[in-house]
Structures are given as structure tokens and as C-alpha cells.
């Protein structure tokens, strides 16, 4: 067996050990409107205090962040953020109580679905674990 085949086999063994499953939850109504991207954006807004700073932290355009937020608010019929524009010290944004509750429910749903997904994954792919 040559060195190239050994490396390929080694890679296959490594891949078998690393076999896993990921769960991605996207909420939809008339359109997809809430998923990991918006969830993380809201977390960053909570940490940073502004949409602008959160968009930079995510590496996402400011306008795309606004589009995500506006779509979610339109679909749900409530605001996720209280926005305070301009002023001498710039604006800021704060997550509303309803927005925070929605985020908590999304996170709980995601956690439960990941647990369930892991159990189902193990049921069907157990033979591939090393």
C-alpha cells in the first residue's frame, strides 16, 4: 500500500469518528423569517447595543440585517427591537420583551430538536461509530 492510500484510509477513519448530525431550525409563515442568522444577529445586538455593530460582528451588511429584522417583524406582527436613532452619542437598539421571549422559545425548541435529532441519528448510524 502506498503512502497516498494510507492517507486516504486514515482520512476515512477520521471522518467516521467525526460523523455527526446538525440541526438547523428555520421558522416560517408566509416566508422563512427566523433562523440561526437572525437569532445570532439579535444576540449580537443585545451584546453590542446597535444594529451597526452587530452587523459588523457578523460580517453581514447593515442593509441585510435590517431586511431580516423587518421581515421577522412583519411575519410576527410585533417588534423585536426598540430602536433609538441618532443623537449626539449615536443610536442604539434594545430587544423588546416580546422579542426576548421569542428568542428564548426558539433556543429551547432548537435544544430539544437537537437532542431528539441526536437520538434519531444514533439509531440509524450507530454502526458507523468507532
In this predicted model, what pLDDT tens digit does every residue of 25-75 receive, in sequence order?
999 999 999 999 999 999 999 999 999 999 999 999 999 999 999 999 999
Q: Which parts of 1-130 are beta strand (E)?
A: 27-28, 32-34, 81-84, 92-95
88 DSSP assignment: T
List, in order of start, the domains of the chain with CATH numbers.
26-128 (1.10.10.10)
pLDDT bracket for residue 17 (50, 70, 90): low
Helix residue ranges per DSSP H, the chain: 3-17, 36-48, 51-58, 62-76, 97-125
- pLDDT for 88 equals 60
Q: So what's the pLDDT on residue 128?
A: 87
Q: Which residues of 112-121 are buried (b: 16+ CB within 10 A; e: fewer)?
A: eeeeeeeeee
pLDDT value of position 56: 96
Is residue 4's pLDDT more than 80?
A: no
Alpha-carbon distance 120 to 113, whole Å?
10
What gap in Å lies between CA 20 and CA 93, rounded to an integer?
37
pTM of the model as a whole: 0.80
Which helix (H) or strand (E) segment holds residue 67: the answer is helix 62-76
pLDDT digits (tens, 9 = 90+) for 72-116: 999 999 999 998 877 666 679 999 999 999 999 999 999 999 999
C-beta separation of 99 from 81 below 8 A: yes
Amino acid at each position: 500500500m502506498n503512502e497516498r492510500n494510507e492517507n486516504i484510509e486514515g482520512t476515512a477513519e477520521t471522518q467516521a469518528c467525526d460523523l455527526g448530525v446538525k440541526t438547523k431550525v428555520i421558522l416560517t409563515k408566509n416566508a422563512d423569517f427566523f433562523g440561526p442568522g437572525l437569532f445570532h444577529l439579535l444576540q449580537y445586538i443585545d451584546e453590542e447595543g446597535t444594529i451597526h455593530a452587530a452587523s459588523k460582528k457578523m460580517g453581514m451588511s447593515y442593509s441585510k440585517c435590517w431586511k431580516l429584522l423587518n421581515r421577522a417583524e412583519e411575519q410576527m406582527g410585533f417588534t423585536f427591537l426598540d430602536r433609538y436613532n441618532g443623537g449626539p452619542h449615536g443610536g442604539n437598539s434594545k430587544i423588546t420583551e416580546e422579542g426576548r421571549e421569542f428568542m428564548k422559545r426558539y433556543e429551547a425548541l432548537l435544544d430539544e430538536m437537537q437532542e431528539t435529532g441526536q437520538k434519531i441519528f444514533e439509531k440509524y448510524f450507530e454502526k458507523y461509530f468507532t
